[in-house]
Amino acid sequence: MEEPISLNKADSPAEAEKEPEALASTALTNDKPDSLGLDSSGSQPQEEEPAPKEEEPAPLTPKESASFITRAARQIYTAGGLGLMPVAPGTWGTIMGVPLYFLFASALGHWSYYLVGTLVVFLIGWWASSVGEKDFPEHDDKRIVVDEVFGYLVTMFPNPFPLPWWGFVVGFVLFRFFDIFKFGPVKKVDRDVPGALGVMLDDGVAGVFAWVALTLLGLLYPLLSKFFAN
C-alpha cells in the first residue's frame, strides 16, 4: 500500500533544511522599507498636512512698493507717525491737533475761516482714512488718528465764553474723555456709520460734546473764579 503524499513537508532532507532559511529571508525582506516608499501593507504612507499659517498682522509702516499718494495718505492718517505709538495712539494723535488749533486761531482769525480750515481737515482725513480702512482689517483701527485731530479742532471751535490761555488743555482733556467713553450718539455713529466716514464722524460728534462742555465751563468760569477768590 502506497503512503499518501504530504503537501506540507519537503520532498527531500536538503529542501527541508532550506525551508527555515527561506522563511527567515522572507521575514527580513518584509521588515525592510520598500524602495518606492510603500509600507508593509503595500500602500503609500500619507504625508502629514502642514499646519495652517497664521494670518500676518497688517504692517505698521508703509510698504516701499506703495505709490506716493498711498504713502502720503498713511502719513496723514497716522498724524505723521504718532498713530504708530505703542501706548495711547489716540492721545498722541490728538496732540497733533494742538498746533493746528493755534495756527487756525491766530492765522485764520475769524471763526468762519476756522470753520473752513476744520472742514478741509475733515475732507483730507476722510480720504486718508479710506486708505487706512483698506490697510487694516479692523474698522477704525487704533493707528488711524487723523480723526482725533479733527475732533480736537471741533472741540476748540471759537465759542462766546472762551477760557483763559490754558483752555486748550481743558479742551484736550474733555475731548479725550468723550472720545474714549463714547456716550450716546458718539457710540451710535461709531457703530452704525461704516467706512472712513464713520471713522471721522464719531470723533466729530465727540468734539461737539466737548465743545458744549468747554463752553459751559467758560460761562461758569467768572462765577467760579469769584467764588474761590472769596
pLDDT of residue 5: 42
pLDDT tens digit string along 69-109?
A: 999 999 999 999 999 999 999 999 999 999 999 999 998 77
Q: For residues 225 and 197, is the Cβ–Cβ distance under 8 A?
A: no
pTM of the model: 0.72
Task: Match 532550506 to its residue by C-alpha cell.
Answer: 18
Residue ranges of domains in the chain = 68-229
Q: How far apart are CA 130 and CA 141, in angstroms?
A: 11
Q: How far apart are CA 72 and CA 189, in angstroms?
A: 27
Q: For residues 58 and 50, is the Cβ–Cβ distance under 8 A?
A: no
Q: For residues 211 and 157, is the Cβ–Cβ distance under 8 A?
A: yes
pLDDT tens digit string along 154-213?
A: 999 999 999 999 999 999 999 999 999 999 999 999 999 999 999 999 999 999 999 999
